[in-house]
Amino acid sequence: MSIANVKLEAPGKKVMLTGNEAVARGAIEAGMKYAASYPGSPTSEVLQILASATSQFGLYAEWSSNEKVASEAAAAASFAGVRSLTILKPDGMNVALDFLTSLAYSGVNAGMVIMVGDDPSAHSSIKEEDSRHLSKLSRLPILEPVNSQEAKDLTTKAFELSEALKLPVVVRLVTRVCHATSLVSLGDTEHIKEPVKAAYTEPILCFPQAHPELEQKIRKIAQWASEQHMWEYLGPKDASSLVIASGPCTLYAKEALEVLGLHNEVAVLSLKMTWPLPEDDLVNLLKDKKEIIFAEEIDPFIEENITSFAAYHAEDLGVFKFYGKRNGYIKSPLGAGIGELNTDIMIDSLAEIKGLGRPDFCGRTANCLGSVGGSLPERDRAFCPGCPHRASYWALKSALALEGNDGFVLGDIGCYAMGRGRTGYYTVKSVHSMGSGIGIAHGFGTLQKFDFTQPIIAVVGDSTFYHAVIPALVNAKHNNGKFLCVILDNSTTAMTGHQPHPGSSLDARGIEVPALNMEEIISGLDINVVVTDPYDINTTRDMVLELLPQPGPKVLILRRECSLVVSKKEKPRRVSVDQEKCVGKDCGCNNLCSRAFGCPANIIDLETGKGRIDEALCVGCGVCASLCPAGAITVEEGV
């Protein structure tokens, strides 16, 4: 909520922090000195905060070109005796995984923590992935905080554990912890001001012979989890029913039990370390329980580990009745394991398990929609007013229509992934991982042997270009894949909040650095590259038509700064609709500007049927003026 609070040197003071801020603060208090990351919601803010605190706390922080490089850089700091942090989302952890699975074998030196932000309900992701499987696969212990205070405390603990066991430790947050704000009591930062001396000391090798030692470490960590009480038992000791929960699900379960009046008969076990399990304690904790209910997001991860644990200890523990995602008792309206949990889902699930009716919230105002037809129109996400992507997709779609051979556009993730929806005229036909549109385009572009003749375009962002596209272009050049790569260059990593990338002239800390030139990189591969302005729709469209038939890969850079950035620094030009020239509904265009172009600032006057500009939203790009067949939209410079 406030970066200033993260940097306060006021031990004991209680401040409001988001989970992301609390992790940053916890890392600082733990003496973490080196942070590297690639932006990804819901965790992008962590490195931003640390980068802004580099001089105050003597830190190093960088936006790396991708998550694998970020993890490798952070590991190097740890090898050299400097506590380090890398920050990922599950998609980023996939990218880093090849390194992380090896890193567990080699081990680390100074404490190294990997923060992962999972996104149940995929609020700002293209899929719901549970990163805990990846951590377990990599043999890395997982801590899961309930709220901001725990996010800070467990981050600090994670550094201690990592350093003691010489193994990276994962702190897994979900969006509702990353982006939720609650009170945190600040710790001391005085002790971390000692200068740190980094040095290489011994070989750091990953080899299969390290496997027994790694498994030994995992067993030690399970014991440590018991010794350190990495769990909290809430509610009656003699309860025969127990909810086993992690993260914010602990709070959802507690509130649901209160609402249902079950809080005096059902207990909650909140696990702070969800892998490996605190097995020594679990035997005692589960003794005398009859029913076990699981509350976790996203996959039944704890559920699978506990049920397997219980099976092995059946002789001591007896047989439980389990209620979880696997047997469909804990489920969102979309199904078990789909979407985030909340108190309502826990109320419904617990009511069903306990054979109660759902409490009557007939006080609810659900029938307030009756007078407006029972339902409300949903809001499609849209490119911002003035977004260069809207103009780019208009040009690409027009070019492919003119070309006439069923050409299509492949894409990937970023703001421009919205090209698959209304705001991008349903232009984008594939969305997977960072840069994957280029690899897929290359695949299509090498199908000539099988009578494939359709033109192929793949779009990528500028940050994505540095992250994952260069190797794909190298491959396309070598294997002569025929397609047009369009780089939607808005000079920033827009989707995640405008972080710099290697093409920027400022680094994460705001220090001036030489900006890489993507044209030179592409020319260096001997690939034809052209730059146009996406606001100039006709020139862009014609250039696409010129480039498409050329052999092999070629690149068109559509360069215009993100309109959200521009709107904050430049006084916009004023765009308006001449009400005399606009023919409105009677024009052959049938309100092209508001109906088809899809800019939220192009509105329609419902009384006159004529186009208007919403001046509160318009940023003055003027692209709609170039589309209006009646020439009714005017652009006034320098207003």
Partner 1 sequence: MEERINIIVSGVGGQGNVLASQMMALAGVAAGYGAVEAETFGASQRGGSVMSHVRLYKNNSPGPLIPEGKADVILGFEPMETLRILARYGNPNTKVVVNTRPVYPIGVLAGEQVYPDMTKILESIKQHVAQTYTLNATEIALEAGNPVVANMVMVGAVCGTGVIPIKEEHFLLAMKDYFTDKILDINEKAFRLGMDYITDTITV
Interface positions with partner 1 (CB under 8 A): 1-2, 16, 41-42, 123-124, 147, 175-177, 179-183, 248, 251-252, 254-255, 259, 342-344, 347, 361, 363-373, 376-384, 415, 418, 422-423, 495-496, 591, 594-596, 598, 600, 602-604, 616
Phi, psi dihedral angles at 233 (to 5 degrees): -100, 120
* Nearest residue (CB) to partner 1, 194 versus 378: 378
Residues 6+ apart with CB under 8 A from 308: none
CB of 385 to partner 1, least distance (A): 9
* Closest by Cα among 460, 334, 329 to 392: 460
Alpha helices in 39-118 (DSSP H): 44-52, 54-57, 67-79, 90-106
CB of 123 to partner 1, least distance (A): 4
Phi, psi dihedral angles at 493 (to 5 degrees): -95, 90
CB of 376 to partner 1, least distance (A): 5
CB 200 within 8 A of CB 99: no
CB of 52 to partner 1, least distance (A): 14
CB 36 within 8 A of CB 73: yes
SS3 sequence, 286-324? HCCCCEEEEECCCCCHHHHHHHHHHHHCHHHHCCCEEEC
Q: What is the identity of the amino acid at 564?
A: L
CB of 384 to partner 1, least distance (A): 6
Here the tokens at position 22 are 């609390």
Residues 6+ apart with CB under 8 A from 209: none
At 625, which helix (H) or strand (E)?
A: helix 623-627
Q: Give me the half-sphere count of Cα atoms (radius 13 Å) on the Cβ side of residue 84.
A: 28
Euclidean distance between CA atoms 455 and 407, whole angstroms: 4
Euclidean distance between CA atoms 237 and 264, whole angstroms: 10
CB of 172 to partner 1, least distance (A): 16
Here the tokens at position 583 are 């023919």
CB of 44 to partner 1, least distance (A): 8
Helix axes 436-444, 470-479, angle to 10 degrees: 10
* Nearest residue (CB) to partner 1, 161 versus 488: 488
CB 535 within 8 A of CB 510: no
**Nearest-5° Cα angle at 565, 467 to 511:** 60
CB of 77 to partner 1, least distance (A): 28
CA atoms 120, 124, 128, 132: torsion sign: negative
CA distances to 26, 117, 131, 154, 323 from 137, rounded to whole Å, are 26, 17, 10, 21, 25
* Nearest residue (CB) to partner 1, 318 versus 629: 629
CB of 178 to partner 1, least distance (A): 10
CB of 17 to partner 1, least distance (A): 11
CB of 525 to partner 1, least distance (A): 33
At 496, which helix (H) or strand (E)?
A: none
* Nearest residue (CB) to partner 1, 254 versus 289: 254
Here the tokens at position 535 are 């606001």
* Nearest residue (CB) to partner 1, 42 versus 553: 42
CA distances to 9, 237, 324 from 264, rounded to whole Å, are 41, 10, 21
CB of 27 to partner 1, least distance (A): 22
CB of 563 to partner 1, least distance (A): 12
Helix axes 279-286, 211-227, angle to 10 degrees: 40
- Count of Cβ atoms closer than 10 Å to residue 4 Cβ: 9
Task: State the chain's maximal CA–CA distance in angstroms.
Answer: 86
CB 386 within 8 A of CB 563: yes
Residues 6+ apart with CB under 8 A from 320: 286, 289, 290, 291, 292, 310
* Nearest residue (CB) to partner 1, 8 versus 402: 8
CB 149 within 8 A of CB 184: yes
CB of 494 to partner 1, least distance (A): 10
* Nearest residue (CB) to partner 1, 90 versus 276: 90
CB of 56 to partner 1, least distance (A): 18
* Nearest residue (CB) to partner 1, 510 versus 549: 510
At 602, which helix (H) or strand (E)?
A: strand 602-604
CB 488 within 8 A of CB 389: yes
Euclidean distance between CA atoms 337 and 589, whole angstroms: 47
* Closest by Cα among 45, 103, 50 to 78: 103
* Nearest residue (CB) to partner 1, 176 versus 554: 176
* Nearest residue (CB) to partner 1, 389 versus 442: 389
* Nearest residue (CB) to partner 1, 478 versus 585: 585
* Nearest residue (CB) to partner 1, 47 versus 384: 384
* Nearest residue (CB) to partner 1, 201 versus 365: 365
* Nearest residue (CB) to partner 1, 109 versus 332: 332
Here the tokens at position 65 are 């070109």
CB of 502 to partner 1, least distance (A): 23
* Nearest residue (CB) to partner 1, 126 versus 447: 126
* Nearest residue (CB) to partner 1, 426 versus 452: 426
